[in-house]
Structure 1
């Protein structure tokens, strides 16, 4: 019997610096294809045509401002900051664990400093716009997206290889 996987522990690294015990929460990137409905003459209904990938972003929350993250705020380079999530999931039905690593590159473009209340831990939220995303599960790359370098690999299949070849790349 399979039971739901539970995130037991996680760590966040920003530009190689570990924030174990300081990172409170991550809103991992939503991965979605941008599509457009098309209904041609004589078609019974619409077909969703692939156009691109939706914009990628990640939100990460800490209990107060962090110097290393503020240092990358509004950087000129689109991939100035490297953020890595490492999670350990368990499935109690089988007693197995699963290592999930998500590596992203982008820049920190929004800080939500939350409310300041004496005697309470804060919620300092950072939103980072991304141009690179890679998801690895138990050492196997499941998904890799590099918007600038035209890389889109899903479960080992390079979905843009023919298109790069067609334009001489």
Structure 2
């Protein structure tokens, strides 16, 4: 019988700057296929057809006021902000901790600065529309999605390579 790997601790980097001790929470992008239902003649039901990847979004929550991140709001580049989450997961069964890194390229579409009250802790939440995503576990890339570059890698297989080869001639 196994035990689940649970998050032990995290750090976040934004454009290379570390937010160790400041990061409160990171909501990873949801990976979802965009689908459209199709029911052809003779079929007894519909099936979802693959239409690409749904829009991805990540949320970074930090304690306190970080002017360097606020200054990134409104960048004109869809990959104007680079985020990296480093996480350590561990099962309480004696197995080694697992390193998980999430790389995100996108731009802040919303900054929620919450409420300010003297003497209370403050948190700012940065919502990032994601154009690039990569998940690395123990040094191995498990998923990489580059929306503009046409890369859709899962477990070492580029599931969009055939399409890009046709398009690039």
TM bin, normalised by shorter chain, reads over 0.9
2:126 matched residue in structure 1: 126
Separation (CA, whole Å) in 1 of partners of 2:37 and 2:154: 23
1:76 matched residue in structure 2: 76
SS of equivalent residue, structure 1 residue 58: strand
What is the aligned length?
169
Separation (CA, whole Å) in 2 of partners of 1:19 and 1:163: 39
TM-score by length of 2: 0.97
Of 16-25 and 159-168, deviating more is 159-168
1:101 matched residue in structure 2: 101
Give every structure 1 segment of 4 or more consecutive aligned residues whose post-TM-superposition deviation is greater than 6 Å: none
Structure 1: which 5+ residue stretches go unaligned? Answer: none
Separation (CA, whole Å) in 1 of partners of 2:114 and 2:74: 19
2:153 matched residue in structure 1: 153
Separation (CA, whole Å) in 1 of partners of 2:161 and 2:113: 42
| Aligned 8 A contact 1:99 1:138 in 2 | yes
Aligned-pair CA distance for 1:95: 2.8
Aligned-pair CA distance for 1:4: 1.2
Cα RMSD over matched residues?
Answer: 1.0
TM-score by length of 1: 0.97
Structure 2: which 5+ residue stretches go unaligned? Answer: none
Aligned-pair CA distance for 1:161: 0.8
